[in-house]
Amino acid sequence: MYRAPLRELRFVLEELLGIGTLSAYPAYADYSDELGTSILEEAGRFAADVLAPLNHTGDVEGAHWSAEGVRSPAGFKDAYRRFAEGGWPQLGADSRFGGQRVPQALSSAVQEILASANLSFNLCPMLTHGAAHALARCGSETQQRLFLPKMISGEWSGTMVLTEPSAGSDLGQIRTRAAREGDHYRLFGQKIFITWGEHDFTDNILHMVLARIDGAPAGTRGISMFIVPKVLVAPDGSLTERNQVRCVSIEHKLGIHASPTCVMEFGHDLGAVGYLVGEPNHGLEYMFVMMNTARLAVGVEGYAVGERAFQQAAEYARTRLQGKPPAARAPGPAPIVEHPDVRRMLLTMKSCTEASRALSFYAGTQLDLGEHHPDAKARTAALERGELLIPIVKGWCTETGNDTAAIGIQVHGGMGFVEETGAAQYLRDVRITTIYEGTTGIQSNDLIGRKLGRDQGAAMRALVTDMRRELQALETPAAAGQVRDAALQAVERLERATHALLTGMAENPAHGFAVSVPYLKLCGLVVGGWLLAKSAAIAARGLRGEDRTFYHAKIRTAHFYATHVLPAAAGLAQVVEAGASSVLETDAECI
């Protein structure tokens, strides 16, 4: 059984980040903490009552392909109908086209709830939201008027269509071609790994497709983006005839079985009608608008599955009687949660999930400030920080989610290795999150190549300075003070590692890429530690109130993170500072 961690979500949003203050900005004038709580409670009910019961059945049944299309597992189509009728696709979408503007951190909190309940289901509206965001930013007025209201209402869905059999992450190798025909184009090509590329949820699917216009330059400079509807749309918004777009097969995957991963064919004969978004040869730039939205969302999905794995593991540990712990007082077997190592595993799951959640919501808040803060200098700084954090959120939170789901199996022991308990599904499902929207290596290359490289580390140094200043200013009692001190030490290690990384890259760019993943993980660990130290300080002030049990648990979880998880920062920093040569000096023949 899944229960949304509403109190924890409210703590991060209201007490740690204070997103209620965003109501001072015109875009969020109608927002309040009370509204946020109401939305979270409704999302929790929908997730527990509708989505969570379909998680296992959808995994067992899977999506069904036929020449006529793709059919979702039993119950999924009705769940989507209820999802759309409840107005959930409108949350966080552009208000000009029927959306409800709320802070990004709240949208991420709802994403977490839905993904914890049913990752396969959540992938469809998550991608639709990203496609709508890209269209709102980059599409023409006609395209926005014609497509966005139906996407934001949930009547139509959207996809991200990049990958080809010969062009995985190297998008410069894309071969799908687009030929001009009047006011539109005809597309020809095949795409793979298209999540929810075909389904029975909606009457229409809008594919955001990367293709190369005939005669365009080679490489990424020649890529354009097109809207390719499954069913063509008349000027009045009504559906007309079926476009030349079809799903020729779906993949048989390790996890997310209920989510169809499609091989899509565009233009088997006359070509698929597509509409150019923006200017020719700027497609990758436009797609990154959607991709960054998706990267933040996938980072949330990674730790969200970890949250679900933790909930199940904790419940199992409380009810499973096995063995006698060293300090047991009562005779006979005890719940395994009383065994020190089981408790250690559960605290690892809990603390890493809480750190990931805080990091993800903090990044979203920076993006909000980067768009809406009245001061131009503050907007620029916040946007740079939000962009700096996106690859960290995507990379570290998904890697952490994988580790958490694996520990969940270990808590179950042998029962975790059999499908009937459900623990294995979380590990199978979450595995894709480290691959979606670019692998962890691609995220780390983005972090050091683009985000650190564009300003020679200025945004990271500003973050380090702010973390150090805030930690030094914390007034904390004993346990919370230990968390603060550990976080300060980790910040110092990150600062030294960043300096070493930039110095090494100045001499040889390959130096940084050889240790980029350890550096990304170091960043996630340290920023998570900083936010948990702040959380512990806040919790220490609430120990005398009615919620003292919750606040006490917050302090203990943060203390565990500081003593069991954060020490890994020292090892990662050492790898960043001295580990590149062992990679670069090893020839491929030696592997």
* SS3 label, residue 451: helix
Both tokens of residue 364?
């979203």
Per the DSSP assignment, residues forming a β-bridge with 247 are 264
Q: What is the DSSP letter of 171?
A: G
Distance CA 413, CA 74 (A): 31
Both tokens of residue 203?
């009457």
CA atoms within a 13 Å half-sphere pointing along the CA-CB vector of 556? 12
CA-to-CA dists, residue 535 to 47, 107, 307, 501, 572, angstroms: 27, 21, 18, 30, 24
Burial of residue 28 (number of CB atoms within 10 Å: 0-12, 13-18, 19+): buried
Task: Determine the longest span between alpha carbons in the chain, in angstroms.
Answer: 83
* Crossing angle of the two packed helices 52-61 and 76-85, in degrees rounded to 10: 150
Both tokens of residue 297?
């969302």
Both tokens of residue 557?
């979880």
384 is catalytic: no
CB contact at 8 A, 241 and 231: yes
Both tokens of residue 50?
């509708």
Q: 């020729």: which residue's tokens? A: 248
Catalytic residue among 112, 198, 338, 437: 437
CB contact at 8 A, 548 and 542: yes
b/e 155-185 (16+ beta carbons within 10 angstroms → b): ebbbbbbbbbeebeeebeebebbbeeeeebb
- Which positions are annotated as active-site residues? 437
